[in-house]
Structure 1
Amino acid sequence: MSMSISISPAPDALAADALAAADFERKLRARDKTIEVLKKRIQQQADGSTTSSFALLEQNLSLGKVIALKTEEVERERQELQKALTDLRQAQSQLLQAQKMESIGQLAAGIAHEINTPTQYVADNIGFIDLASSSLMTLLDKTLKVVEAARASQPTDGLVAEVDAAVKKTKLDYLRRQIPEALAQSKEGLEHVARIVSAMKEFSHPSNGGKELLDIRDVINTTVTVARSEWKYVAELETRYADDLPQVSCMRDMIGQVILNLVVNAAHAVADTLQSGVREKGKIRIMVKRAGEQHIAISVADDGGGIPEGIRGRIFDPFFTTKPVGKGTGQGLAIVYSTVVDKHGGEIRCDSEVGRGTCFTIRLPLSADNGEAPCK
């Protein structure tokens, strides 16, 4: 967790940048109001019969000076705002990376357990096969002695009796059944470990800020594998993909983080409903389909407790969380919103009913050209 804390921007810095932008907008409005008042005053005096040309010229010069000063001030503040916005973008990028590293840190224990379980039974199976191999080698040696005696036309009765005893001791029929099963189980366990390691490697790989065409199903399957320890004890997770899904232009690591945040949130929502002991597991469903010609829709639904209506309008606000202190940072859904809307020009909708569950639906443009502004 220390890694994520060291690179995450301070909330005060983000608040200062937001205040700078608001202050700049306020000064712009004040400038426009001042100019409008001066213009009205000049117009009123110009319409009066007692206004002299000299007075009108003097007022015009004064207005010109005011406009020049205000323009210079606005330009200076525009440059300051540009710098503040640049700093804010850098802070957002650092915050995303920090949240990603925090997620990996939180998942580390579960991933270690996911790897340890198959590794343990692979080790047990190898130990069993090692003992079985020793017994089989002893049986083979005795059998070869019988063959050698028969080839030399020597008595084999005693040797055959030893082979029979070795066969009985070795439990040959049992080994014939168990060795193939142990090998198959070990192979399955090693493949499971390989999938987890590959998923972690792919999930952690940065996209360097650039979009690429990719199969969204791969991103989702990888993320589901990485987050398995978060949901497998509390819910059955189902994925449904439409047959006509095209490739999507997006940033792999950012969209992976979005899916991870939504899946983990769904798992936590389901887990909260299991404490009463009414049911053993809930359900999480991920569905992907086309949404018109230019977009796809990704929905992550759970049958947890739902989101109270009074806070639904705040769930995407930075630092807003309903979790106890130390359990949530309030950044998960804020980063989801920023990634989908600001970085990919998409949109996100939340449908929730208390006691029934929640469904987050994301619409992403298929091409980078459609990702410059929120889709409608």
Structure 2
Amino acid sequence: MSASDYQRKLAARDKTIDVLKRRIAQEARQNHATPFAIMEQNVGLEKVVAHKTKELENERHELEKALLELRFTQTQLLQAQKMESIGQLAAGIAHEINTPTQYVSDNVGFVKGATVSLLKLLDAALLLADTARVKMADDPVMAEFDAALKRSKMDFLRRQIPGALDESLEGLGHIAKIVSAMKEFSHPSLDKKERVDIREVINTTVTVARNEWKYVAELETQFAENLQPVPCLRDMIGQAILNLVVNAAHAIADTIKEGVREKGRIIISTALDGEYMEIRVKDDGSGIPAAIRERIFDPFFTTKAVGKGTGQGLAIVYSTVVDKHNGRISCESEEGVGTTFILRLPLNSQNEE
């Protein structure tokens, strides 16, 4: 570009500036305001608009947060009401099932004791038959007895009856244990903390959740010997552990392949750590992707398919441990290796009743 071209451009710029100045001056005379006043007004208006925009944006965020908290609070309330209803239902079921279970157990126990006596009598009768057979070899009564003895398959019955009775008693005991665990698990705390043996809470929860994990994993509990009672809302801590066990079972189920991996492993361990009770729920499932680990405790966040999860489980665990018990929760995970959730509950609580 030549010098004359630059001069023409500069002249055109100066002319444009002069025109703008005259327009500003003219508007200032018409509006009785100086150019600087107009500029100040424009700048002030921009500041007001920016400030209002920021306020609206903040209010929108606060409203979204409030709505999310409201939804989560409603979810927790519904969960508490559901647990209370389950507790009432379980109490009725326990009464209806425990009574027949008890007398069936008593009857099976009686049959087991009677079987021992009958088998002893049978041994004496067979011994007598052996003695009589020598003298009554051609007697039709003896032949009929031997035929009946052969048809009865007595050796098979002698081996199987005691085991069948033992298994029946064990099954009846398991029924009673499940019903008792369900009743205990669902009993509402009514927002009153009490000191509980965390081992009992875990064992009860494991029994209640058995149907979730027994087909995909072996579950092991490891309890330290020096455990102390923990002040807590028993039903809420049970629900938190239940959610973690179910999540662990689902994570393992995603890795099960016929002929390659039949079952995984879940380990629930407890230990004292200073002023805290530490509970670990460890699985060797699929692990949590690094990209979403910071969001797993957010309400309604889930990676499961529609109908498979609502994203409330871990959020409820977090709320229970942190908000309700002033505790701590953390997660250690590696994709393809597994996940460990660590709950730390304070051993001293100001809200203990």
**TM-score by structure 2 length?**
0.64
Show the 5 A alignment for 1:204-353: 204-275=186-257, 278-292=260-274, 294-353=275-334
Structure 1 regions of 5+ residues with no counterpart?
Answer: 1-18, 26-80, 109-114, 151-155, 372-376
Q: What letter is aligned with 2:219?
A: L
Distance, in Å, in 2 between the alignment partners of 1:21 and 1:210 is 34
In structure 2, C-alpha distance between the alignment counterparts of 1:271 and 1:103, rounded to whole Å: 27
Instruction: Report the AA paired with residue 322 of structure 2.
Output: V
Contact 2:76 / 2:316 at 8 angstroms: preserved in 1?
Answer: no
The Cα offsets for residues 152-186 of structure 1, whole Å up to 9 and x where unpaired, read as xxxx9554443333322222222221111111111
Alignment of 1:11-30 (within 5 A): 22=62
Distance (Å, rounded) in 2 between the aligned partners of 1:354 and 1:276: 21
Amino acid at match of 2:239: Q
Counterpart in 1 of 2:163? 181
Q: Secondary structure at the match of 1:368?
A: coil
Please point out which of 364, 369, 373 is paired with 2:345. 364
Confirm or deny: 8 A CA contact 2:84 2:188 kept in the other structure. no
Matched residue of 1:273: which SS?
coil
Whole-Å separation in 1 of the counterparts to 2:257 and 2:312: 25
Separation in 2 of the partners of 1:227 and 1:88?
27
Name the structure, 1 or 2, with higher relative contact order (CA <8 Å, separation 6+).
Answer: 2
1:97 maps to 80
Residues 27-71 of structure 1 show CA distances to partners (whole Å, capped at 9, x for unaligned) of xxxxxxxxxxxxxxxxxxxxxxxxxxxxxxxxxxxxxxxxxxxxx
Change (3 A) 1:100 1:276: farther
Paired position in structure 2 for 1:63:
none
Q: 1:208 aligns to what SS in structure 2? A: coil
Q: Determine helix, strand or coil for the equivalent of 2:319.
A: helix
Q: Is the 8 A contact 2:84 2:187 kept in 1?
A: no
Superposed displacement of residue 97, structure 1: 2.1
Equivalences for residues 80-91 of structure 1 within 5 A: 91=74
- Give the 3-state SS of the residue equivalent to 1:297 in structure 2: strand
The Cα shift of 1:367 comes to 2.6
Query: Residues 277 and 328 (structure 1 numbering): CA distance in 2 closer, same or farther, change over 3 Å?
Result: farther
Paired amino acid for 1:367: N
TM-score normalized by the length of structure 1 = 0.60
C-alpha distance 323-277 of structure 1, shift in aligned 2 (>3 A)? farther
**Is contact 1:99–1:331 with CA below 8 Å preserved after alignment?**
no
Across the aligned residues of Structure 1 and Structure 2, the Cα RMSD in angstroms comes to: 4.1
Question: Structure 2: how far apart are the matches of 1:351 and 1:103?
Answer: 33
**CA displacement at 1:285 relative to structure 2:** 0.8
1:275-301 CA deviation, whole Å, 9 max, x = no partner? 475311111111100011x21100001
Larger Rg computed on CA atoms:
2
Q: Distance in 2 between matches of 1:200 and 1:160?
A: 57
Q: Whole-Å Cα distance in 2 between the matches of residues 307 and 103 of structure 1?
A: 32
**Shift of the alpha carbon at 1:327?**
0.7
Aligned CA distance change for structure 1 residues 88 and 233 (closer, same or farther; 3 Å): closer
- Identity among equivalent pairs (%): 61
Match of 2:147 in 1: 165
Q: Which amino acid aligns with 1:335?
A: I
**How many corresponding residue pairs?**
261
